[in-house]
């Protein structure tokens, strides 16, 4: 059941929206994820897990840039979600963002989907 957007926040160049779809929290990230903006996403993802949504679907379709700090936020969220029986699913990564995962090998520890529908059906 999609309850619409239940949370939305912006910090500088990053905007995060959260909505719930069944047992999943869909976290849409737009803008630039770096050491200046990473806390906003960290707080949002941790809040979802704390609220009982251990299955995190991160929609990266509007994420224009991500550095190693952003990658660390996602890795930390993955550990927290998995500890609660869930996980982090990444959706529609732009080439510049996907490259960070490819270079670091982090793509091997995340489930990556081509579309939001595919992530929600998984």
Residues 20-72 pLDDT 10s: 999 999 999 999 999 999 999 999 999 999 999 999 999 999 999 999 999 99
pLDDT at 122: 80
Closest Cα partner for 5 from 21, 14, 17? 17
pTM of the model: 0.90
Q: What is the mean pLDDT of the chain?
A: 91
In whole angstroms, give the CA distance from residue 43 to residue 5: 17
Residues 6 or more apart whose Cβ sits within 8 Å of residue 118: 91
C-alpha to C-alpha distance for 2 and 83, rounded to whole angstroms: 25
List phi, psi (to 5°) of 28: -95, 125
User: Is 114 within 8 Å of 92 (Cβ atoms)?
Assistant: yes
What was the pLDDT predicted at 8?
59
Please give the pLDDT value at position 54: 96
């Amino acid at each position: 059941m999609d309850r619409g957007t239940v949370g939305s926040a912006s910090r500088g160049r990053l905007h995060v929206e959260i909505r719930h779809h069944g047992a999943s929290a869909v976290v849409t990230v737009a803008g630039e994820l770096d050491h200046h903006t990473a806390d906003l996403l960290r707080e949002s993802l941790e809040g979802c897990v704390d609220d009982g949504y251990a299955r995190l679907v991160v929609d990266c379709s509007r994420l224009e840039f991500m550095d190693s700090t952003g990658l660390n936020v996602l890795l930390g969220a993955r550990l927290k979600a998995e500890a609660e029986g869930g996980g982090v699913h990444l959706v529609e990564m732009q080439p510049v963002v996907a490259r960070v995962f490819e270079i670091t090998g982090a793509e091997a520890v995340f489930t990556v989907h081509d579309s939001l529908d595919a992530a929600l059906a998984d």
